[in-house]
Structure formats: structure tokens, C-alpha cells
């Protein structure tokens, strides 16, 4: 199958792995962070860490959109469903993420709230059209990849002059998250990673040029990678070569999908409907300026945060859960005492075990439980 089989060829993978072993300097260490949760799952699904030299380590980053959403935003979504009795629509993973007091949208649904899982924001718009007597709210999450579909339904809702549809906007941005990882280390005079595997899907929208200033500022090479095993292995080889050469450039390994400037139409739709928030809270990274989007005033009629009064949340993370440290790359899932004991996919304590892109779920699913 074009663009799949050739990127899963075992002979080629073995050859790239041999090159990594040959070119990695045994006298130095290489710590590479894969930003995207999809990359984390590819790493473990194909056993890539076992193919690498002992001094080449992969560190998981904050690229799972479900995982980085703080508990307070989940509580707000639950409040919309329970207190305001809206039809609350979101993606499947969000329904299971625990809020305060171990509640969740799934539990709210079991107690009578109208919570619906969907695969596309367009489904939420359809539900609003079919239920004109009900307020319908789309719980929007995700990085630059999922922002354009949300923008599209905002534009359509305005065109249709819908009065029973709104969006609870939680879209976040990748470059500020990378800054949130690298800036504290730089200020402390430390280096926590030697290179970064750049996100593939996000880069289709943003373009590779979105990371140029980050690579220079933090003197950190970035290689944008696809999601097949050879994509990842080849990207690791490119990062090793940059480290050896003392370069910190942005390279595009995923050239079959990513361009330098990205998807102009998608960027335009997002810019028409959303603008930067002054500050936004991330799970694990805290409050970061200009790191998320809110709905523009021109679309205020479709902004759930304006339409509904939401109570401030007093949610506190479970102190024993290490999700925040895992998202910062400071700890591995197996460093958490709850991992694979109290916290499992059937009984998730933290978001990283809930989400299909979560680092803990990847470790658990592919047997890396110790």
C-alpha cells in the first residue's frame, strides 16, 4: 500500500537502526523528545526503543490534546452538561477523563446528563439542527490539527444563524508548549533534551517554518516526522547527525505531507474565528501566555463561555498521579507508583492513561509496565 508498506519495511528499518548505532557517539548522550502522542504509540507499537543504542533515549512530551487539558476545564464541561443541562458533545476520550472528585462526563451521562460522543464537530452542528429546543455545546479540544474543523462549524453556525449552538473552546498551540518545556531549563542553565521529533499532523497545518525560531532560540534540532516506524527511525538518525555536527536546524522528514508554510486555508479559517488568549492553564505546564485560542468577539453568540455562567473550579490533581511530570518529560510513566497498579486503562486515575494518545496508555498497551 503506497505510503504505508514502504515505511514499515523491516529490512530498511534494520538498516536505519544500524546507521544510528554506527553514528551515535558512545561518549555522549542523546535525549530526544517526541512531542506528539501518535509518535509515542508508534515507538512502542513497533518496539523502536529496543532498536536504539543505550545512549539514545526517547522522552515523551506534552503532545496529547486530552492529557494537557487541566481538570478545571473538564469540570466546566461537566457543569455545562449537569447544571446548564445542555447537550454536551465531545470526542470519546474526553468523556472518561476524571475531573474533580473522580467525576467525569461519562459518569455525568450515567446519572442522566445528555453527553454525546462524536467523531466530528459537524456532528454537533447536526444535533443542534435536529434539536432546536435544546442548547447544544461542542467541547472543542486539540492542537492546530483540530482547530480548523471547529472554525468551520463556527462559520456554518453563523451562516445558518443558529441560536442553540455554541463552542466551549479549548484549542491550544504547539510552539508555546515547546517553549514551556525548553524555557525553564534554559533559564536554569540546563539542557533536558538534545533534540525534538516535531509533530506531523500539527505541522501539516502550521508548516515546518513554525519551529524555526524555537530551534535557534533553544539551540535544539527539530525533525518533523511522519507516523510510520521508518519515519520515526529516520528522524532519530537525522537528529543524531545534527547533534554530531553541532547544528540546530528544522528538518522535514515528513515531506510527503508537510510543507514549509502549511495549509493556508485552514490557517485562514482559524484566524477568522479565533484569537489568542492572554493566558491558559495546561496540565503539567501551568499557566502559559498566548498558548491557546478563544473565540473572536465577532462570534460571541457561539461562545459557550459567554453564553453560560461557569463556576470557578477548585479542582486539585491527585497528588499521587505523575501525569503532570510525565507531560513535562520529567518522569516516565513507569516512575509513577499508580502506574499499572491502581491506574489502568479500565480504571484511569490520570489523563495520560485515559487518552488513546497518552504516554501511560502507550506504555501499558505495549507491555512496558516496568
15-42: per-residue pLDDT in tens? Answer: 999 999 999 999 999 999 999 989 999 9
* Residues 357 and 38 sit within 8 Å (Cβ to Cβ): yes
Domain count, the chain: 2
pLDDT at 1 exceeding the cut of 60: no
For 142, half-sphere exposure in the C-beta direction (CA atoms, 13 angstrom radius) is 22
For the ranges 18-32, 91-105, 300-314, the maximum mean pLDDT occurs at 18-32
Q: What's the rounded mean pLDDT across residues 68-85?
A: 95
Q: What is the DSSP string of 178-204?
A: HHHHHHHHHHTT----SEEEE-HHHHH
Domain-embedded: residue 340: no
Domain-embedded: residue 80: yes
For the chain, what percent of residues have pLDDT higher than 70? 98
| 104 in the same domain as 39 | no
* Residues 94 and 354 sit within 8 Å (Cβ to Cβ): no
At residue 369 the predicted structure's pLDDT band, cuts being 50, 70 and 90, is: low
Cα 222 to Cα 15, 26, 133, 175, 252: the distances in Å are 22, 22, 50, 12, 9
| 219 in the same domain as 164 | no
Domain-embedded: residue 156: yes
At residue 4 the predicted structure's pLDDT band, cuts being 50, 70 and 90, is: confident
Q: What's the rounded mean pLDDT across residues 289-303?
A: 97
Domain-embedded: residue 362: no
* Residue numbers of the domain that contains 43: 4-64+174-252
| 194 in the same domain as 283 | no
| 78 in the same domain as 164 | yes
Q: According to the model, what pLDDT value does residue 8 have?
A: 85
Q: According to the model, what pLDDT value does residue 108 have?
A: 96
Q: What residue has cell string 542553565?
A: 189
| 149 in the same domain as 9 | no
Q: According to the model, what pLDDT value does residue 350 have?
A: 84
| 225 in the same domain as 81 | no
Q: According to the model, what pLDDT value does residue 356 have?
A: 76
Least confident of 21-35, 86-100, 248-262: 86-100
What is the number of residues in the chain?
370
CATH number at residue 60: 3.40.50.11750
- pLDDT, tens only, 110-121: 999 999 999 999
Domain-embedded: residue 344: no
Please list the residues that pair with 167 across neighbouring strands: 138, 303
Q: According to the model, what pLDDT value does residue 124 have?
A: 97
Domain-embedded: residue 257: no
| 164 in the same domain as 188 | no
CATH number at residue 285: 3.40.50.11740
Q: What's the rounded mean pLDDT across residues 131-157?
A: 97
Amino acid at each position: 500500500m503506497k505510503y504505508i508498506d514502504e515505511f514499515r519495511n523491516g529490512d530498511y528499518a534494520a538498516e536505519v537502526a544500524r546507521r544510528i548505532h554506527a553514528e551515535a557517539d558512545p561518549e555522549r548522550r542523546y535525549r530526544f523528545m517526541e512531542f506528539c502522542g501518535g509518535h509515542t504509540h508508534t515507538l512502542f507499537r513497533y518496539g523502536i526503543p529496543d532498536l536504539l543504542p543505550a545512549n539514545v533515549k526517547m522522552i515523551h512530551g506534552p503532545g496529547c490534546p486530552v492529557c494537557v487539558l487541566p481538570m478545571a476545564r473538564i469540570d466546566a464541561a461537566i457543569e455545562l452538561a449537569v447544571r446548564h443541562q445542555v447537550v454536551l458533545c465531545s470526542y470519546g476520550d474526553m468523556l472518561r477523563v476524571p475531573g474533580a472528585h473522580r467525576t467525569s462526563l461519562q459518569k455525568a451521562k450515567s446519572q442522566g446528563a445528555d453527553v454525546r460522543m462524536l467523531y466530528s464537530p459537524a456532528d454537533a452542528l447536526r444535533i443542534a439542527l435536529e434539536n432546536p429546543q435544546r442548547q447544544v455545546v461542542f467541547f472543542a479540544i486539540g492542537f492546530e490539527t483540530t482547530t480548523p474543523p471547529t472554525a468551520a462549524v463556527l462559520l456554518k453556525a453563523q451562516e445558518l444563524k443558529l441560536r442553540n449552538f455554541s463552542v466551549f473552546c479549548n484549542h491550544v498551540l504547539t510552539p508555546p508548549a515547546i517553549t514551556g518545556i525548553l524555557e525553564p531549563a534554559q533559564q536554569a542553565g540546563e539542557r533536558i533534551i538534545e533534540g525534538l521529533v516535531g509533530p506531523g499532523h500539527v505541522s501539516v497545518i502550521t508548516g515546518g517554518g513554525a519551529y524555526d525560531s524555537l530551534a535557534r532560540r533553544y539551540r535544539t534540532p527539530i525533525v518533523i516526522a511522519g507516523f510510520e516506524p521508518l519515519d520515526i527511525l529516520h528522524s532519530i538518525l537525522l537528529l543524531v547527525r545534527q547533534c554530531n555536527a553541532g547544528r540546530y536546524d528544522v528538518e522535514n522528514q515528513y515531506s510527503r505531507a508537510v510543507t514549509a508554510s502549511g495549509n493556508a486555508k485552514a490557517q485562514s479559517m482559524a484566524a477568522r474565528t479565533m484569537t489568542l488568549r492572554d493566558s491558559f492553564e495546561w496540565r503539567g505546564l501551568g499557566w502559559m501566555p498566548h498558548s491557546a485560542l478563544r473565540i473572536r468577539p465577532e462570534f460571541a453568540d457561539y461562545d459557550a463561555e459567554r453564553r453560560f455562567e461557569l463556576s470557578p473550579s477548585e479542582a486539585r490533581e491527585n497528588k499521587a498521579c505523575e501525569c503532570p511530570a510525565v507531560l513535562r518529560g520529567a518522569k516516565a510513566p513507569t516512575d509513577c507508583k499508580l502506574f499499572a497498579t491502581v491506574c489502568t486503562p479500565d480504571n484511569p486515575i490520570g489523563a495520560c492513561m485515559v487518552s488513546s494518545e497518552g504516554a501511560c496508555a502507550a506504555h501499558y498497551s505495549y507491555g512496558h509496565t516496568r
